[in-house]
Chains A and B, each alone.
Chain A
Amino acid sequence: MEDFINIENVSFSYSADDENIAAPEYVLKDISMKIKKGEFVALLGHNGCGKSTLARLLNAMSLPNKGKIYINGVDTSQTSSVFDIRKTVGLVLQNPDNQLVASIVEEDVAFGPENLGIEPSEIRKRVDDALKAVDMYDYRAHAPFKLSGGQKQRVAIAGIIAMQPQCLVLDEPTAMLDPKGRDEVMSTVKKLNRENGITIVLITHYMDEAVQADRVIVMDDGKVLISGRPREVFSQVELLKRHRLDVPQATELMYRLKGRGFSCDEMPLNSDECIRQLEKMLKRNN
Chain B
Amino acid sequence: MLKDITFGQFLPGASSLHRLDPRAKILFLIAVIVFIFITGNYFALALVAAFIIALMFASKIPLKMYLKSMKMILFIVLFTGIINLFYGKGDPLVQIGFLKITEAGINNAIFVALRIALLIIASSMLTFTTSPTDLTDAIERLLKPLGVFHIKIHEIAMMMTIALRFVPTLLEETDKIMSAQKARGADLDSGNLIKRVKALIPVLIPLFVSAFKRAEDLATAMECRCYQGGSGRTRMKRLRFGKIDFYGLLISIAVLGGVILCNIFLPAVVR
Give the B-binding residues of A (Cβ under 8 A).
59, 61, 83, 86-87, 90-91, 93, 95, 97-104, 106-107, 110-120, 123-124, 127, 141-145, 156, 159-160, 163
Of the stretches B72-80, B109-117, B232-240, the one at the interface is: B232-240
B236:A93 contact, CB within 8 angstroms:
no
Q: Does B10 contact A (CB under 8 A)?
A: yes
A119-B234 contact in complex given A104-B131, A145-B168, C-beta closer than 8 Å:
yes
A120:B222 contact, CB within 8 angstroms:
no
Residues of A within 8 A of B168 (CB): 143, 145
Q: Does B225 contact A (CB under 8 A)?
A: yes
Residues of A within 8 A of B233 (CB): 114-115, 117
Q: Report which of A98, A100, A103, A115 forms a contact with B164, defined as CB distance below 8 A.
A: A103
Which single residue of chain B is at the shortest CB-CB distance from A113?
B236
A101:B218 contact, CB within 8 angstroms:
yes
B236:A98 contact, CB within 8 angstroms:
no
Residues of A within 8 A of B132 (CB): 102-104
Residues of B within 8 A of A93 (CB): 217, 220-221, 224
Residue from B222, B224, B235, B237 whose CB has the most chain A CB atoms within 10 Å: B224
Which single residue of chain B is at the shortest CB-CB distance from A94?
B217
B161:A102 contact, CB within 8 angstroms:
yes
Which single residue of chain B is at the shortest CB-CB distance from A99?
B221
Distance A113 CA – B10 CA, assembled complex (angstroms) = 24
Q: Could you tell me how many residues of chain B have their Cβ less than 8 Å away from some Cβ of chain A?
A: 32
Distance A115 CA – B223 CA, assembled complex (angstroms) = 10
Distance A95 CA – B223 CA, assembled complex (angstroms) = 16
A115:B12 contact, CB within 8 angstroms:
no
A101:B161 contact, CB within 8 angstroms:
yes
Closest-CB distance, A83 to chain B (whole angstroms): 5
Distance A145 CA – B221 CA, assembled complex (angstroms) = 17
B236:A117 contact, CB within 8 angstroms:
no
Q: Does B190 contact A (CB under 8 A)?
A: no
Q: Report which of A107, A145, A156 forms a contact with B131, defined as CB distance below 8 A.
A: A107
Q: Report which of A61, A127, A142, A156 forms a contact with B236, defined as CB distance below 8 A.
A: A127
Residue from A86, A101, A160 whose CB has the most chain B CB atoms within 10 Å: A101
Residue from B133, B220, B234, B236 whose CB has the most chain A CB atoms within 10 Å: B236
Distance A120 CA – B239 CA, assembled complex (angstroms) = 11
B236:A110 contact, CB within 8 angstroms:
yes
B224:A116 contact, CB within 8 angstroms:
no
Give the A-binding residues of B (Cβ under 8 A).
10, 12, 131-133, 161-162, 164-165, 168-169, 172, 213-214, 217-218, 220-228, 232-238
Which single residue of chain A is at the shortest CB-CB distance from B232?
A117
Distance A129 CA – B270 CA, assembled complex (angstroms) = 63
Distance A91 CA – B220 CA, assembled complex (angstroms) = 9
Closest-CB distance, B231 to chain A (whole angstroms): 9
A143:B226 contact, CB within 8 angstroms:
no
B235:A120 contact, CB within 8 angstroms:
yes
B169:A120 contact, CB within 8 angstroms:
no
A97:B169 contact, CB within 8 angstroms:
yes
Residues of B within 8 A of A115 (CB): 225-228, 233
The 28 listed contacts between A and B (C-beta, < 8 Å) are A59-B224, A83-B226, A83-B228, A91-B224, A98-B213, A98-B218, A99-B221, A100-B165, A101-B161, A101-B225, A102-B161, A103-B133, A103-B161, A104-B10, A104-B132, A113-B234, A114-B233, A114-B235, A115-B228, A117-B234, A120-B238, A124-B236, A143-B168, A144-B165, A145-B168, A145-B172, A159-B225, A163-B225
Closest-CB distance, B17 to chain A (whole angstroms): 16
Closest-CB distance, A198 to chain B (whole angstroms): 16
Residues of A within 8 A of B232 (CB): 117
A101-B221 contact in complex given A119-B234, A120-B237, A141-B12, C-beta closer than 8 Å:
yes
Residues of B within 8 A of A59 (CB): 224
Closest-CB distance, A2 to chain B (whole angstroms): 25
Distance A120 CA – B137 CA, assembled complex (angstroms) = 15
Residues of B within 8 A of A100 (CB): 165
B218:A99 contact, CB within 8 angstroms:
yes
Which single residue of chain B is at the shortest CB-CB distance from A127?
B236
B225:A112 contact, CB within 8 angstroms:
yes
A120-B220 contact in complex given A101-B161, A115-B228, C-beta closer than 8 Å:
no
Distance A156 CA – B221 CA, assembled complex (angstroms) = 9
A98:B214 contact, CB within 8 angstroms:
yes
B10:A143 contact, CB within 8 angstroms:
yes
Which single residue of chain A is at the shortest CB-CB distance from B229?
A115
B10:A98 contact, CB within 8 angstroms:
no
Distance A115 CA – B227 CA, assembled complex (angstroms) = 5
Distance A103 CA – B227 CA, assembled complex (angstroms) = 17
Closest-CB distance, B190 to chain A (whole angstroms): 32
A86:B226 contact, CB within 8 angstroms:
yes
A107:B217 contact, CB within 8 angstroms:
no
Closest-CB distance, B106 to chain A (whole angstroms): 43
A114:B236 contact, CB within 8 angstroms:
yes
Distance A120 CA – B133 CA, assembled complex (angstroms) = 16
Distance A245 CA – B131 CA, assembled complex (angstroms) = 46
